[in-house]
Amino acid sequence: MQALTDRSKMVDRKPMTFVERLYLWNIIKGMRITFAHLFRKKVTVKFPEQKRAFSPVFRGLHILNRDEEGRERCTACGLCAVSCPAEAITMEGAERKPGEEHLYREEKYAAKYEINMLRCIFCGFCEEACPKDAIYLTETFAPANYKREGFIYGKDDLLIPDPKTGK
């Protein structure tokens, strides 16, 4: 049978010499690589004292933003939930009642807003889809937790504090 390409090579099957059977040359080459790595700059970051520089496009934990008057920006339009490829965002909308104008920016607001951080892939599509700039991805890590329920962040976990009252 003829080969399709001319890249084949003949294999030399001659017996190994005494030096080749000792593998001495291969051991010397491996030791040379090991010693070369000993004198290189260390890549380890000593965490508590030294902080790692993040990329300018790093995406971390989500936050729900407020406007200048302290009202919630989210109008429960659902574009963030629809644009999420991992389906990590769930929300329920509600109508603003009379007297709640100081709490919510629009007539409709998110009564329930949850992000499952175990499903989230930190793609940033929710941030891009939001027409009201209500959701942002910050430069902080998601903290470790022992239970799965601790990774489901509700509206009270995501909403930044009111600039007027601090709550």
Sequence-distant (6+) residues with CB within 8 A of 123 are 59, 84, 85, 86
Structural domain contains residue 117: yes
> Does 99 fall in a domain?
yes
Residue 77 assigned as binding residue: yes
Q: What is the pLDDT of residue 52?
A: 80
The H or E element that residue 115 is part of is strand 108-116
Residue 123 annotated as binding? yes
Q: What's the whole-number mean pLDDT along residues 38-45?
A: 84
> Parallel, antiparallel, or unpaired for β 62-64 and 89-95?
unpaired
The confidence score (pLDDT) of residue 161 equals 81
For residue 103, give the CATH number of its domain.
3.30.70.3270
pLDDT-based confidence at residue 127 (cuts at 50, 70, 90): very high
Dist CA 97 CA 87 (whole Å): 30
Q: Is 73 within the bounds of a domain?
A: yes
Q: Is 126 annotated as a binding residue?
A: yes
In a domain, 22, yes or no: no
Residue 20 within a domain: no
Structural domains counted in the chain: 1
130 is in an annotated binding site: yes
15 a known binding residue? Answer: no
Average pLDDT value for residue range 13-25: 83
User: SS3 of 24, please?
Assistant: helix
Average per-residue pLDDT in the chain? Answer: 87
19 known member of a binding site:
no
Is 153 a domain residue? yes
pLDDT at 47: 82
The residues, any chain, with a CB within 8 Å of residue 106's CB and separated by 6 or more, are: 75, 96, 132
Report d(CA 100, CA 104) in Å as an integer: 7
pLDDT at 3: 64
**Largest Cα–Cα separation, the chain:** 94
Cα torsion angle, 103, 104, 107, 112, sign: negative
What is the structure's pLDDT at 2? Answer: 65
Instruction: Calculate mean pLDDT across residues 148-153.
Output: 92
pLDDT above 70 for 1 = no
The C-alpha atoms of residue 55 and residue 144 are separated, in whole angstroms, by 22
- Check whether 90 is labelled as a binding-site residue: no
Containing domain of residue 133, as a range? 62-158
Query: Looking at the domain assignment, is residue 76 inside a domain?
Result: yes
Q: What is the per-residue pLDDT for 20? A: 78
Per-residue model confidence as pLDDT tens digits over 80-122: 999 999 999 999 999 988 888 888 888 899 999 999 999 999 9
Strand, coil or helix: 128: helix
Is 35 assigned a ligand-binding role in the annotation? no
Give Cβ neighbours of residue 128 (< 8 Å, ≥ 6 apart).
Answer: 83
* Per-residue pLDDT at 135: 94
Residue 5 lies in a domain: no
Q: What is the pLDDT of residues 77-89, one digit of tens each?
A: 999 999 999 999 9
- Greater confidence, 123 or 25? 123
